[in-house]
Structures are given as structure tokens and as C-alpha cells.
Structure 1
């Protein structure tokens, strides 16, 4: 099937560290990267034949080294179509770093409940549904709803990966889910075309009090390129509307990217453009991830430990 797909380019080899920034602009203690992926090592975790793309190897030690460089001590590792429903790399990462990581799974309606409980015990706290064509297209909504009902008693969230006006099309499905919902990558609008409709829909969803948004993927949305200043007004409007339910993620190692590979240090610098105050940074990087993902209490807890 996908065995002959050209591998995605590897991530930036040497992101610039926070040492270039004054202390006030560095991530606060217990900062969380709320959206990243790992792939491999492939000799132990081979890629499935039915994958929708071929990633370059990006194992957990490389992710940990990146976070140590950038100043992040927590992360949410999102299972990707690159490994499909083989959660081996994710489970190994969670087992080795239970205080540092949480996970988001990919599940089928046929996934045994025992497997879901095993993922939950390991530190998985969410399930993701992809609506993008290169990741399989819109899922069976009835089946997705059934999966959501199965994980709701565990306190999991549902992550929705949707692009552009598909968010508007599926807004009723999102509001009908029995779990908290996270919209990945700001719903990936086209900044020149469907921005107003997407923003209005996100505001309406946020006003339910049950929807969160990841202010991630600035490099995917930007028309101007680094340092992604053209994405700042849109991201800031979301943060201003519901600062208590915004998250930030690097999206490392940036698979299926059509533009230039970003320097992850530049993506961290971009946080200062959307969250210039220490209070906003702490909400975005510490308090909000702690509240949603169940990390141990840090300073001003919003939710007890899972």
C-alpha cells in the first residue's frame, strides 16, 4: 500500500535554544508542549503497511532532547497515522516518563475495552479523530461517537483534527460529543479565505465551556513564513476569547509539511507574540495543560491529579 511513499523530511537539526532569550521570555517551570509525535525506532516499532504516510524516524529520546533544549518538562504525545493503531512507541514513552508525558490514542470502534483500559492506565487521556483527506478523510461519525462514549467515563477528551470549513460542517457533531473536545492546530483555516467563518465557529464552540483549542501549527497556517507574524492576530483573538482553554504545541517533528521545516526555537519564540505577559504564558503552557491532561499539581492547580 504505502510502502513506497517517500519519507517525510526530518525535523530541523538544531533548533535555537532559549538561551538566546532573556529569562522573562523563556517557558515557565513545568511548561507543556501539548501536541507532538514520535516515530520509531523502526527496528523495534516497524511502520504498518496500511499507513497513510511515511515519517522519518523521530523517537522519544530525540523529542526529550528537544524539550530539554527548549525548556519544556511536560508533553502530550499524540498517536499518528504513521504508526496507525500500534501504540508501542507511545506506551514505551509513557512507561519511561510517567510524570513527563501524557498520550492521545487512535482507536477503532472494534478496539477491545481491555486495550482502552490499558492505555488509560499508561497515561493516555484522549482519542483523536482525523478529518483530513491525506489521513484517511472524515471518519464514520457514528463509530466515532461510539468510541467517544466508551472513553467518556475515563475522563478522556476527544481531539478533532479538521481543516477549514470542515469545522463548520461538523460543528454539531463536535457539540454532541460527551467529552471535552480539543480542536487541533486552530482548525487550520486558510487565512485569506475562510478565517471569519472558522473564528466565529470556534468562538461558538468555546462558549460551550467544553471545547479547547491548540494554538499550534502556525507554520502550517502562515503565508509569510517564519516568524509567522501573519498568524498572530488570529491566534491572539482565540486566546483573548477563552484564555482558560487555550493550549500550545510544537507539532514536532512536523510531518506532511509542504513548506519550509520550522526551527522549533522560532515556534517557541512565537509564543511571546501571542502571550506577551507572564500570566498568559503560564495559563497557556502550565495551568491549562495541567487542567485538561491531568498532570500533577504545579503552583496553582486547576484539577486534581488523575
Structure 2
């Protein structure tokens, strides 16, 4: 079964079978051969574009999407702007990858195109196109636009750079449930650091990337972490599919099974609706 055909299957039965109206997938990537790859040592992606993603969105009743510029494009965000346009500006937003010397005029163009944040993917220094030294100056520059800083870090990096994180202005968004060591539970010190940031009211976490945090085929060991994070700040959690799963080999994981997992992460129906509808509407301005 190909990844594309998996995306066309109905969701597994159980909690979260279909998303409520207005639901948002807060983390996907689009790869488009019309735009040149800059590689950066990353593995070739699945070039599954907007039409394939729209099939997944239709089957799961997802109606809003946040597109994140993939690492292979460096700081070229045209692929994300095009995807926002193709998905429809009323139902899509984006997160760019930028260096802090970006021109003000470019920031304004990106904002008009639906960009609402800047991502720093630093978990692997060998493939990173940005650095820790860029986070604070970039965070300062985007305050006038109301954008957020999105951080794809390992849990250990969160611990090592706690002082930096605590002094950053504006809104912070942590990717993939903090990238704890696989199989680690909610007692990891990174969770304590992020708990303090969540208590300030300007920090969010993406419930996503189960395969990045799990040693099990059913991802059951991610449930305690997801539930602990949600208990800390139920109104500042969002869910993302991470489609088309650029870190995973072969056909990739089953998208519908990943979505059904949210029913275990957030078993309360009202809380799950907040994660899928209300929280991303606030964070991304839908």
C-alpha cells in the first residue's frame, strides 16, 4: 500500500474517528518539484503535493492547515506560499524558515501570503540551515507582525538552552511533543522547563510526531507525555499530522492511525475539540 493510498482510507474506529468541523492540521510539509531543492544533507522527500494532502484532509474532515517550509528548501519559502494559495488563504497558514538578516519588505510579503511564524529546526546540526544564535534576533524582528517562533529541538537541547528560551519575546511553539528520548516519560527535565514557559501564557506545544518519540509500533508510550502536556495547558495544545512524514522511510506511517491516536492523547471530547479547532484558530488567526 502506498502512502498516498493510506491517506485515502477512513479513520480507524474509536475516539477521534473524524475531526469536528473547523479542525486544523497544524503541521504539514509540501514538496513541489517546481522549486529547487537545496538538499542540506536531507534524504529525498516524498513529492506528495496539495492534491494528495487534500484527499487526507477530506477523509478526516480537516478543514484548516498550517504548512511548514521543509528543510530541503533552506530559506526559500516559495513552496509554502504556493501551498497556502493552493489550499486557499481562508483555510491555510504557513511557517517560514528565515535568517535574521531578512529584509523588512520580504517579511511583509510573507505575512500577506499567510505566514505566521518562523521555524528553527536545530535537532540535527548537520542538516540545520539556521543556528541557535539566530533565534533571539529573529524573535525580536517578528514582534511587529505578531508572529511566533517555532522550535524543533531535542529535549536535551531544550534543557541546554533553557536560559535562551526563557528570555525570548513573544509566542513560542514547540514541535513534536518536545522530542523526548524515545520511550522517555513525562519526568524528563525538558518537561519541567516547558511547564514553566507554558505557565507564562505565551507558549504552545504541537501534539505531533508520535514516531519521533516512541519505541513501539502502536506509539502507546507517547500517551503519558501527551496527556501530561495537555494537562499543563489544555488551551495551548495543537495537533499536527507531520504529513508526509519526511523523517520516516518507506511508505511512511498510517495517517489515519496517527489521527486516531489523538483520541488516546486527549480522551476528553471537549478538550480534543479545543486542540483541533479553538486552539489553532487562536494561534494562527483563523
Output the TM-score relative to the length of structure 2: 0.91
- Distance in 2 (CA, whole Å) between partners of 1:50 and 1:33 is 26
Q: Which of 159, 174, 178 lines up with 1:168 in the alignment?
A: 159
Q: Which of 117, 120, 123 lines up with 2:108 in the alignment?
A: 117
What is the DSSP-based 3-state SS (H/G/I as helix, E as strand, rest coil) of the residue aligned with 1:182? strand
Q: Which residue of 2 aligns with 1:256?
A: 247
Find out whether 1:208 has 2:188 as its counterpart: no
Find out whether 1:61 has 2:51 as its counterpart: yes
C-alpha distance after superposition, 1:160-195 (max 9, x if no partner): 000121111112212211120000001110144575
Q: Once structures 1 and 2 are overlaid, which stretch shifts more, 127-136 or 183-192? A: 127-136
Q: 1:245 to 1:115 in 2, by over 3 A?
A: same
C-alpha distance after superposition, 1:9-56 (max 9, x if no partner): x8463236446536974210010011110000x1x2221254644212
Find out whether 1:131 has 2:122 as its counterpart: yes
Q: Which residue of 1 aligns with 2:233?
A: 242
What is the DSSP-based 3-state SS (H/G/I as helix, E as strand, rest coil) of the residue aligned with 1:129? strand
Deviation at 1:268, TM superposition (A): 0.8
Give yes or no for contact 1:94–1:123 (8 Å, CA) kept in 2.
yes
Q: Which of 154, 170, 177 lines up with 2:168 in the alignment?
A: 177
Find out whether 1:156 has 2:147 as its counterpart: yes
Output the TM-score relative to the length of structure 1: 0.85
Q: Which residue of 2 aligns with 1:231?
A: 222
Give yes or no for contact 1:81–1:135 (8 Å, CA) kept in 2.
no
What is the DSSP-based 3-state SS (H/G/I as helix, E as strand, rest coil) of the residue aligned with 2:93? strand
Any runs of at least 4 consecutive aligned residues in structure 1 with deviations exceeding 3 A, and if so which?
10-13, 15-25, 49-53, 134-142, 191-195
- Distance in 1 (CA, whole Å) between partners of 2:79 and 2:108 is 17
C-alpha distance after superposition, 1:118-162 (max 9, x if no partner): 000111000001111266359443432111111111010000000
Q: Which of 94, 106, 126 lines up with 1:103 in the alignment?
A: 94
Say how many residue pairs are matched. 283
Q: Which of 180, 192, 197 lines up with 1:189 in the alignment?
A: 180
- Distance in 1 (CA, whole Å) between partners of 2:205 and 2:123 is 17
Q: Which of 66, 75, 78 lines up with 1:85 in the alignment?
A: 75
Q: Once structures 1 and 2 are overlaid, which stretch shifts more, 120-129 or 132-141? A: 132-141
- Distance in 2 (CA, whole Å) between partners of 1:224 and 1:106 is 32
- Distance in 2 (CA, whole Å) between partners of 1:24 and 1:212 is 21
CA RMSD, Structure 1 to Structure 2 (Å):
2.3
Give yes or no for contact 2:151–2:173 (8 Å, CA) kept in 1.
yes
Unaligned 5+ runs, structure 2: none
What is the DSSP-based 3-state SS (H/G/I as helix, E as strand, rest coil) of the residue aligned with 2:72? coil
Higher relative contact order (CA closer than 8 Å, sequence separation 6+)? 2
What is the DSSP-based 3-state SS (H/G/I as helix, E as strand, rest coil) of the residue aligned with 1:13? helix
Q: Once structures 1 and 2 are overlaid, which stretch shifts more, 137-146 or 172-181? A: 137-146
